[in-house]
Chains A and B, each alone.
Chain A
């Protein structure tokens, strides 16, 4: 279970957009990530004047507060961003909202190539072949 403040931070990092769910509703297992980056959460709260103040702010103000915290302590904020991003962009609802199947790459793999490709490529390669030699001996 995440707190209102944590949800507000997550959704500031990755808000919803159209069919793309916000981070707090993407079914992420974020407990250990948030625990590991507790110091950053404290820093965000401090910038906002408290956890409640951050949670109560509108999205634009929250983004501003997060950016301000990032300016003050860039590396820890970026580490939190990347950790949440890895979970968020690998989650099934987000991957699917970006138009990609959430199944593993194997065992099905993917089909690549269209029927006319080979003939078109051959035609273009004829022009390259005609140059005979472009290497130096």
Chain B
């Protein structure tokens, strides 16, 4: 197939997800004279077409709008997310994502915690993982900038964190579920706090306040939930960035140790986009896949895949807890057990988070015996009366947990991709400890019964570490500014850069980090 050569540009960004948006939005401000083209495999979301406007939306949650791309593909796929299959048969967790403008912020839960300062120094403090090439203090100004661009609802004064800037909006209403959980933590004298969320609790930045409709992870129809197609891209495009959708990047072209551009596929054919700098931001799976396919040779590339270990305890209550309303992941959390305490038998810690109920059909699908009279009895007991405490632990980097190529060509023209991941003994110990604490808390909150889910497979929300930062090219793929070792002009700006994973959701840190990568790059080219 002949490949048409386009006019050269200064910068090509691969992907239009969270990291790509934070990088590009900052770059256009700091280096406005650069020409920037963004190549995104998917399209823009049409909010009017999202499931929450349909009475049968629950069926979409389990099929075409499921959070797993493999489940969506099995249900026939959906246009704005240009999904590719991921062979996850050798992985304890199933990777979840969205492949379109906004990336996985289209279907994220928008819980927006920062890392703790200790998360950047796990080797120095606790002798595990590796230290990041910079500290919390170095990243702090970029956290602040990125927070302002997303728009955060939250409450100042949380003793689990160094002080953060004032939030423009109060937290999302806790509701009965959040209040019940808060009383449980309070009775035990444990830390709890309303979460920082990238969701408008009232009108802000031209978007409305959340009306607690529920299915955030199928895309927010009102726009109350921040996603980068609304928060970052419009401004970047207004400042001259060109966004090309339906553009699957097949190869980063490298000659004599320097990038020359990218080859990408569109419905009209294959094109070569020459560029002085290529910034890859396809997430922990998409970035590793593309760089491996492009022949980037780094011993750490694709390795050290981290998802976060995750399990939960469900508590059943006599009282009504509101049912499937409000943003699923945005109520309250506890960092009582976040920092290392060696007497627990493991280092690093766990994050506990109260999560809201799912719609009836989703709850029904998760029953241990989902049919017959027993199913009715179980569902009647739990629907509107249950709360799950999600336990997330710090997944340490392990070389064997990795993203690799399958050896076959996938329908999108790239090599097929697989994930190989086994939960470590460290994670198992930490999760078990966290599950014990979750049970204790649910009892204190008044739960009449609890059920443990020791490992929750469909929690592969966080795809991290496969192009990790560091100083040694043998154990890391990039330096602390996201520049790939040994390939001039090639940068990474997404979750794959993470040196370690902390025990909290990564979105806020991906945004801050990509903003820092852009800042470092802008200073270099200025």
**Residue ranges of A at the interface with B (Cβ–Cβ < 8 Å):** 12-15, 17, 20, 63, 66, 81-82, 85-90, 92, 94-95, 98-100, 102-114, 117, 120-121, 124-125, 127-129, 131-137
**Roughly how many angstroms separate A132 CA and B322 CA in the complex, as a whole number?**
32
Q: Is the CB of A81 within 8 A of B371?
A: yes
Q: Is the CB of B59 within 8 A of A134?
A: no
**Roughly how many angstroms separate A100 CA and B334 CA in the complex, as a whole number?**
30
Q: Is the CB of A89 within 8 A of B159?
A: no
**Roughly how many angstroms separate A125 CA and B160 CA in the complex, as a whole number?**
12
Q: Point out the residues of chain A lying under 8 angstroms from B55, CB to CB.
A: 92, 102-104
Q: Point out the residues of chain B lying under 8 angstroms from A106, CB to CB.
A: 52-53, 211, 213, 221-222
Q: Point out the residues of chain B lying under 8 angstroms from A94, CB to CB.
A: 360
Q: Are A100 and B360 CB-contacts (below 8 A) given A109-B212, A124-B186?
A: yes
**Roughly how many angstroms separate A19 CA and B71 CA in the complex, as a whole number?**
33
Indicate if B311 sits at the interface (CB-CB under 8 A): no
Q: Are A109 and B213 CB-contacts (below 8 A) given A81-B370, A104-B52, A135-B161?
A: yes
Q: Is the CB of B192 within 8 A of A89?
A: no
Q: Are A98 and B380 CB-contacts (below 8 A) given A86-B63, A109-B211?
A: yes
Q: Which of B38-46, B171-179, B247-255, B441-449 contacts A (4 or more CB under 8 A)?
A: B171-179
Q: Are A90 and B56 CB-contacts (below 8 A) given A113-B175, A124-B186, A135-B118?
A: yes
Minimum CB distance partner of B327 in chain A: A112
B16 → A minimal CB distance (Å): 25
Indicate if B384 sits at the interface (CB-CB under 8 A): yes
**Roughly how many angstroms separate A14 CA and B339 CA in the complex, as a whole number?**
47
Q: Is the CB of A110 within 8 A of B326?
A: yes
Q: Is the CB of A112 within 8 A of B326?
A: yes
Number of chain B residues close to chain A: CB under 8 A? 67
Q: Is the CB of A117 within 8 A of B179?
A: yes
**Roughly how many angstroms separate A112 CA and B193 CA in the complex, as a whole number?**
18
Selected contact of B364 from candidates A89, A112, A133, CB within 8 Å? A89
Selected contact of B179 from candidates A81, A82, A121, A136, CB within 8 Å? A121
User: 14 additional contacts, CB 8 Å, given A86-B59, A100-B324, A106-B213?
Assistant: A20-B376, A85-B361, A92-B55, A99-B384, A100-B360, A105-B57, A106-B53, A106-B222, A109-B222, A112-B322, A112-B325, A121-B182, A121-B194, A134-B191
**Roughly how many angstroms separate A66 CA and B370 CA in the complex, as a whole number?**
13
B25 → A minimal CB distance (Å): 28
**Roughly how many angstroms separate A127 CA and B186 CA in the complex, as a whole number?**
8
**Roughly how many angstroms separate A14 CA and B340 CA in the complex, as a whole number?**
48
Q: Is the CB of B193 within 8 A of A104?
A: no
**Roughly how many angstroms separate A111 CA and B326 CA in the complex, as a whole number?**
9
Selected contact of A104 from candidates B54, B59, B116, CB within 8 Å? B54
Q: Is the CB of A110 within 8 A of B211?
A: yes
**Roughly how many angstroms separate A127 CA and B175 CA in the complex, as a whole number?**
20
**Residue ranges of B at the interface with A (Cβ–Cβ < 8 Å):** 52-59, 62-63, 116-118, 125, 155, 157-162, 173-176, 179, 182-183, 186, 189, 191-194, 210-215, 221-222, 322-326, 335-336, 338-340, 360-361, 364-365, 370-373, 375-377, 379-380, 383-384
**Roughly how many angstroms separate A94 CA and B377 CA in the complex, as a whole number?**
14
15 example contacts (A-B, Cβ-Cβ < 8 A) are as follows A17-B380, A86-B59, A87-B59, A89-B365, A94-B360, A98-B379, A99-B384, A100-B324, A108-B213, A110-B325, A112-B322, A113-B175, A114-B179, A134-B191, A135-B118
Q: Are A82 and B159 CB-contacts (below 8 A) given A100-B360, A104-B57, A128-B193?
A: no
A18 → B minimal CB distance (Å): 9
Q: Is the CB of B174 within 8 A of A117?
A: yes
Q: Is the CB of B365 within 8 A of A17?
A: no
Q: Is the CB of A90 within 8 A of B58?
A: yes
Q: Is the CB of B173 within 8 A of A117?
A: yes
Q: Point out the residues of chain A lying under 8 angstroms from B193, CB to CB.
A: 125, 128
**Roughly how many angstroms separate A13 CA and B364 CA in the complex, as a whole number?**
12
Q: Point out the residues of chain B lying under 8 angstroms from A108, CB to CB.
A: 211, 213
Minimum CB distance partner of B375 in chain A: A14
A2 → B minimal CB distance (Å): 17
Q: Point out the residues of chain B lying under 8 angstroms from A87, CB to CB.
A: 59
B218 → A minimal CB distance (Å): 10
**Roughly how many angstroms separate A86 CA and B66 CA in the complex, as a whole number?**
13
Selected contact of B213 from candidates A92, A102, A110, A124, CB within 8 Å? A110
